Amino acid sequence: MDKQGKKGFRSGFVAVIGRPNAGKSTLLNTLLGQKVLIISDKPQATRNRIRCILTEERGQVIFFDTPGIHKPKHRLGEYMVAAAKSALQGVDMAVCVVDVSVPFGTGDEYVFQIVKESGIPCILALNKIDLITKEELMVKIATLSKLADFREVIPISALHSNNTAKLMDLIFEALQPGPMFFPDDVVIDQPEKFVVAELIREKLMNLTREEVPHAVAVVVENMEEKKTLIKIEAVILVERDSQKGIVIGKDGCILKEVGKLAREEIETLLDSKVFLQLWVKVKKDWRNQNTQLRDLGYNLKDLNE
């Protein structure tokens, strides 16, 4: 379907930004109508700037999912924040996601300041309204909408698809007529290996606790199409021997569960039976090592050093 010359077709680039755990990736999965981005109840799930594409009759939006903006404690964190901030460069607009179920703090203020400094038109999406009362929401709307010059302020629940269609209308209204940048069947602009590695990492994040979810990285080393299935070999990196034990679990129970849950989702994603093999390796302090980070595909150029 070629919509290049279609009258009224709008398109543009939209960065979704906010603090960790605000619900940015959940919102994008809801808007896209399928799960392409990983979600966790633990902060700092998203580590890269990820382009995902929504194509409708009325237009095409190229969204950037971004890591949550936070005070970095290691090199990976610095990269994540830089990747999030640089998503604002060259986009047509931003959607700033705030979790209204937690107190508004200096972290959110910092995100607002970044948006202000960028000068990019911004819609403020007040997320997780399912967790607060109407009265509490009224107070949030009144106080937060004053803090920056937002184009629109919209309460949503990304998880329950509440008001998200309205948000999409507001985004399309704000965009200019434009071409189609991606074919209409492209939803995420990342190789399959990346999406598969992310799904494995999501299961690891959700099945481990404390520092472990943040100390894991996943690399898909091989994906091979066999007669009846796809064979995938992936390596899970941790920073310390003790973390290796936790990730494997007693009698391998955690690793087995990670493998089972990830395999099920990967089978849906690839529409094929999958044989998933996982290994766990220790790479000391990988989150602080430039070479390791580069090997893992983090583009340190974003750090502008």
Ligand X SMILES: Nc1nc2c(ncn2[C@@H]2O[C@H](COP(=O)(O)OP(=O)(O)OP(=O)(O)O)[C@@H](O)[C@H]2O)c(=O)[nH]1
Binding site for Mg ion (CB under 5 A): 24-25, 45-46
Q: Restricting to residues 85-144, which ones interact with ligand X according to CB under 6 A?
A: 127-128, 130-131
Within residues 33-62, the interface with ligand X by CB under 6 A covers 39-41, 43-46
Q: In the complex with Mg ion, which residue's Cβ is closer, 27 or 120?
A: 27
Nearer to ligand X, 153 or 158 (CB): 158
What's the rounded Cα separation, in Å, for the pair 242 and 208? 13
CB of 47 to ligand X, least distance (A): 8
Q: Which of residues 64-83 bind ligand X (CB under 6 A)?
A: 67-68
Enumerate residues 6+ apart whose C-beta is below 8 A from 20. Answer: 43, 44, 45, 67, 68, 69, 70
Q: How far is the CB of 69 from ligand X (least distance, A)?
A: 8
Instruction: Give the largest Cα separation in the chain, rounded.
Output: 61
- In the complex, residue closest to ligand X by CB: 68
Residue 167's SS3 state is helix
Q: Which two tokens stand for residue 273?
A: 């039976």
Which CB sits closer to Mg ion, 46 or 127?
46
Report which of 300, 297, 254 is spatially closest to residue 278, judged by C-alpha positions.
254
Q: How far is the CB of 46 from ligand X (least distance, A)?
A: 3
Could you tell which of Mg ion, ligand X, none binds residue 82, using a CB distance below 5 to 8 A set by kind?
A: none
Size of the site for ligand X (CB under 6 A): 24
CA–CA dist 99, 266 (Å, integer): 29
Give the whole-angstrom CA distance, residue 189 versus residue 187. 7
- Residue choice 22, 32, 204, 246 for contact with ligand X (CB under 6 A): 22
HSE of 268, CA atoms in CB hemisphere, 13 A: 9
Q: Answer with the entry of Mg ion, ligand X, none that 131 interacts with (C-beta below 5 to 8 A by kind).
A: ligand X
**How buried is residue 254: exposed, middle or buried, by Cβ count under 10 Å (0-12/13-18/19+)?**
buried
Which of ligand X, Mg ion, none does residue 130 bind to, with CB < 5 to 8 Å depending on kind?
ligand X
> Quick one: which segment of 51-59, 156-164, 220-228, 289-297 binds ligand X (CB under 6 A)?
156-164
Q: How far apart are CA 67 and CA 44, in angstroms?
A: 6
Amino acid at 14: V
The distance of closest approach from Cβ of residue 46 to Mg ion in the complex, given in angstroms and rounded to an integer, is: 3
Q: Which residues pair with 55 in a beta bridge?
A: 60
**Residues near ligand X (CB under 6 A):** 18, 20-26, 39-41, 43-46, 67-68, 127-128, 130-131, 157-159
